[in-house]
Each structure stands twice: as C-alpha cells, then as structure tokens.
Chain A
Amino acid sequence: MIILETISEKLSLKCKCCWENLNREVTGGYAGDLLSDVMANSAAGNVWVTRQVHQNIVAVAALKEHAAIIVVQGASPEKETLNKATKEGIPILVADLSEFEVVGRLYQLLHPSQG
C-alpha cells in the first residue's frame, strides 16, 4: 500500500494544506472535473486528480472520504478551498503537470506489477 507522502515525492507535488495527513494510505485514483461524476464513481481512500479549484471540491472529497486532492496544471486553489480543506483534514497537492501526465505517473505507482 502506498502513502500520500511517497506520491507527493515521486510526482514533485506541492502540498498546500494538511501536511500531517500525508501518511495516509491510498486505495486508488480517480480523475475528473465533473463533480456529479466524482460523487457517483470515486471510492473512499482514492486520490482525486482534478483541475477544479472551487471550494465545492472539498465537500465532495470529504463526503467520498478521499485520501487527498491533486490539483493539476499548476492551478491555484482558492483561499476558501484551502480553508475548507484544512477544516476537513484533506490534503490538497498541486502538480504542474497536465491531468494526463499526473494520472499516468500515479497509475504506474499504484500498479507497479503491470509495468
């Protein structure tokens, strides 16, 4: 089982809040920007990869018990988003890479046996 900190290191992510929770284990990944899809399809313990920075992402991540949110394309989470994430204890990590590249690398980390 891989933890957030390892992912953060391997993908050179910048952690924006909740450093204390980077020892969380990650069950898998989910990528997407449509909140209704994330609500419908993602699972607890997932790392959610998105380019949305609006504060509503935190509510979704909290409800679905995501391990963390990775914001892609170097987008800056809004201040309200970070405040809410801090309250909910959900780390927000920022990647400069595009969604495809972040997911590709994350997938390799989570499924190392397949290549």
Chain B
Amino acid sequence: MSPRNEYDSYLQGSYEVHGRDFVDAGLVSSQIKKGLKAKGIDEDIIRRVAVLTFEAEVNIISYADHGTVSYYVLPDSIIIEAIDTGPGIEDIDLAMQEGYSTADDSIREMGFGAGMGLANIKKSSDILDLTSEPGRGTCVKCTIMLNGKVPNGE
C-alpha cells in the first residue's frame, strides 16, 4: 500500500516512518503540529491531530518495517493517513478494544504497548476508516472535522 493524494488539499505533508526505530517516535507528530500551528489552526483540533498521529507512528514503529504518515488539510476537515507494510490486523474489532495489545515487554519499556493506541486514534477522530490485509499491511484513515474553525486567512 502506498500514499495517494486524491484530496483537494491546500496544505499537506508526508513522512516516512521506519519500523523498530523508537528513537524517533513522535517526531512526525511534532512536525505536523508545528506546521499546523504556523497556519493558525484551532488548538484543540491540532491537539487531536497530534495525538492520533503520534499513536499511528507508534503503531507503525511497533509492528511494521516501514510506513508513511500523511496529512491533508481540506477546507472543512483534516485527514491523516497512516499506511504500513506490516503484518496487518487479523481481528480489527478485537484490536480496537481498549487494553488489548500484542506488544512485548520491550515496547512497554518504551512507554507504549498498553493497548490504548487504536482506541486513542478512534477517540481523537470524527471518522475512522481502518482497513487491513493480514500479511500485507494496514491503512488507517482518520478525518477530523474543522466545524467552521477554519485556519487564519482562509
């Protein structure tokens, strides 16, 4: 699976995420947050974007070899897409449950792996579209509605 831009976005970005590389976990979240702040987007919305991007990064780092996190700012919403070439998710309903985790101790010692990731992503999104193909990868697409909180100058 690879990123695509079929959106009519006026601000966007795409970042590579390498699996097992915990040192940089959260880097994409910080970078996207900086970018959105510079555009004067509502703080609550930026926080939600930053949280779900962070969790999406951690998921890729924990379970996949490689992935991409992209964001698209549209006139009425922000879309975050996290696509990886990991093992995929066998049972999405189970994986969505708070507390369910397949993480090992090494991930827990990094401060993650308590089974909150997908639940956090869902809580922070208005719309969550999760597709996964076991053995091929996972695509997490999140939409956050701007609800009239348009960026400055728009």
Contacts and interface: CB of A to CB of B under 8 A. Distances in A.
Interface stretch (A3-11, A19-27, A47-55, A104-112): A47-55
A36 interface: yes
Q: How large is the interface on B (under 10, 10 to 19, 20 to 34, 35 or more residues)?
A: under 10
A76 B100 CA distance: 11
Nearest to A54: B108
B114 interface: yes
Main secondary structure of the interface of A (DSSP, over half): loop
Contacts of A76: 99
A51 B109 contact: no
Q: Is the interface of B mostly helix, strand, loop or mixed?
A: loop
Contact of A35 (B99, B105, B114): B105
Interface in B70-120: 99, 105, 108-109, 111, 114
A75 interface: yes
Interface in B38-77: none
B109 A34 contact: yes
Interface in A4-45: 33-36
Q: Among the interface residues A34, A52, A54, A75, which one has the most CB atoms of the partner chain B within 10 A?
A: A54
Nearest to B100: A78
18 contacts: A33-B108, A33-B111, A33-B114, A34-B108, A34-B109, A34-B111, A35-B105, A35-B108, A35-B109, A36-B109, A51-B114, A52-B108, A52-B114, A53-B99, A54-B108, A56-B105, A75-B99, A76-B99
Interface of A: 33-36, 51-54, 56, 75-76
Interface of B: 99, 105, 108-109, 111, 114
